[in-house]
Amino acid sequence: MESVNNMENNSADHRREEMSIGIAADHGGFELKGQLMAALTFAGYLVKDFGAHELIANDDYPDYVVPLARSVSRGEITRGLAICGSGVGACVAANKVPGVRAALISDTFSAHQGVEDDDMNVMCVGGRVTGSALAWELVQTFMNADFKVNERFTRRLAKVAALEKGLE
């Protein structure tokens, strides 16, 4: 049993080392970003900070979220986490970047099913809506989920991808 536990721990460590996550937030998500960055780093993830790097009371979420989304789209980072006050603006902006599938998440079911069925690659959270403990559970659930390769899921995603190419 001991060695089974060790194998499970090793494979979780390996997964964390292989996956990178980018994080971005405006003033509405700044505090939560700091908390989640600390938790992710402590857990062993490679985290790239797209800002804001300081609290600027009147900054604009696209300035941080769009570079994050582009980096996910280019495959430079595995997944993205975008935070604003409600999470709505971050989600709207991220979804404008081709190749990004972003969703505003506040429950653990959607945090994993969004990846498993819909290949969500950017998770958005509301810094003024979701507390830090739940947000950390959502992030862990998101990072531990994998897309389930399945004909009906890939068929639906192909229809979404066609929209980006103007082929609808």
User: Which of these is catalytic: 36, 83, 84, 122?
Assistant: 84
Longest dimension (CA), the chain: 54
Minimum Å distance from CB 93 to ligand RB5? 9
Based on the shown chain and the rule CB under 6 A, indicate whether residue 64 belongs to the binding site for ligand RB5.
no
DSSP letters spanning 66-131 = HHHHHHHHTTSSSEEEEEESSSHHHHHHHTTSTT--EEE--SHHHHHHHHHHH---EEEEETTTS-
Applying CB under 6 A, which of residues 61, 64, 136, 142 lies at the interface with ligand RB5? Answer: 61
Based on the shown chain and the rule CB under 6 A, indicate whether residue 22 belongs to the binding site for ligand RB5.
no
83 neighbors 126 (Cβ within 8 angstroms): yes
Of 116, 98, 100, 97, the closest CA to residue 108 belongs to: 116
Minimum Å distance from CB 147 to ligand RB5? 27
Report 70-109 residues binding ligand RB5 (CB under 6 A): 84-86, 88-89
Task: Give the binding site for ligand RB5 (CB under 6 A).
Answer: 26, 28, 61, 84-86, 88-89
Give catalytic residue positions: 84
